[in-house]
Amino acid sequence: MTKRPMTLCFDLDGTLVDTAPDLLNALDSCLQQAGYAQPNHALIRPIIGSGAKAMIKRAFETDQNILTLPNETEIDRLWHNFIDHYTAHIADESRPYPGALKTLTTLKEAGYLLAVCTNKPISLTTPLLQALNLTPLFDAVVGINSTPYTKPDPRVLHSTVQSAGGDIQTAIMIGDSKTDIDAARNANIPVIGVTFGYSEQPIESLLPDKIMSDYDELLLLVDQIINQMA
């Protein structure tokens, strides 16, 4: 451990929690209500971190039976139905990744500051963490609407670390996507990329400082980064 508390900033969807089942169910529901076909989930999953509208648009872009993409008015209508369904079923099937709860508890007890830094709306982030009993583990939770900034803008990481009571000079980002890697690079902090999240590119190709395939590896990877920073 360093003299000052180390702050670990976690992305949410695809990093802390496997939210894909509930998000894809919400997508299926909003499309079905409007009379559209269920999309191929394998083609949607990699862009889950880009938000609901991106998922809806990808569903149409990959549907070879759709000759004309819906206009923005229709996309907005589908989006509202998506959010309504997702809000009501936010943690039906979503679960923390294996080993996450145990590892986060160990880190918390060891004196690390833990924070969530996500581009998910805070109005959805807070109830999801509460439903999964994760809220007590975090010193700060920052999502869209928490600050004027979103990842990869480094200011959102600065704000997150400050809210947690930490120092950006002793912070690490953990995430699953290019947005997370870029945010960390822009903030000039180390980043650990996870292999099990939602990314259109292999996490290795994004060149994070460390790569994590299982939460059992996180403590060792954090120690390695701390030693390199010393």
Q: Which of 11, 18, 28, 176 is catalytic?
A: 11
CA angle 102, 230, 197 (to 5 degrees): 40
Structure tokens at 192: 């650990």
Report in angstroms the alpha-carbon separations of 219 from 22, 23, 73, 88. Answer: 29, 30, 47, 35
Secondary structure (3-state) at 42:
helix
Residue 168: exposed, middle, or buried by beta-carbon count in 10 A (0-12, 13-18, 19+)? middle
User: Does residue 63 have an active-site annotation?
Assistant: no
Secondary structure (3-state) at 85:
helix
- Other Cβ atoms less than 10 A from the Cβ of 136: the count is 9
Three-state secondary structure along 137-201? HCCEEEEECCECCCCCCHHHHHHHHHHHCCCHHHEEEEECCHHHHHHHHHHCCCEEEECCCCCCC
Give, to the nearest 10 degrees, the angle between helix 20-33 and helix 72-88: 130
Tell me which residues are annotated as active site: 11
